[in-house]
Amino acid sequence: MLAPEKARALRDADGVTLDEALRRAGRDPEALGAEPERLARIGAFVELHVEQGRALIDLGAPIAVGTAILPHGRWRIDITGEPNHAGTTRMSDRRDPMLGLARLIDGAHREATERDSTSGPGGSAEPPLTGHAARATVGKIRCVPNAVNAIPAEVTGWLDARAEDEATLDA
- 55-79 pLDDT, tens digit per residue, is 888 888 888 887 778 888 999 999 9
The CATH number that applies at residue 144 is: 3.30.70.360
On whether residue 58 sits in a domain, the answer given is no
Structurally, how many domains does the chain consist of? 2
Inside any domain, residue 57: no
How confident is the model at residue 13, as a pLDDT? Answer: 87
Specify whether 75 is located in the same domain as 30. no
Judge whether 123 and 154 are in contact, CB under 8 Å: no
pLDDT in tens, 47-60: 887 777 788 888 88
Distance of alpha carbon 39 from the chain centroid: 29
Q: Tell me: do 114 and 32 sit in the same domain.
A: no
pLDDT tens digits along 29-50: 999 988 889 889 999 888 887 7
CB atoms within 10 A of CB 12: 10
Kindly state the helix (H) or strand (E) to which residue 161 belongs, with its residue range: strand 154-163
Q: What pLDDT, on the 0 to 100 scale, is given for residue 123?
A: 47
CB-based burial label for 34 (10 Å; 0-12, 13-18, 19+): exposed
* Residue 17: strand pairing partners: 11
**Mean pLDDT to the nearest integer, 117-138:** 64
- Within a domain: residue 117? yes
Domain extent at residue 24: 4-40
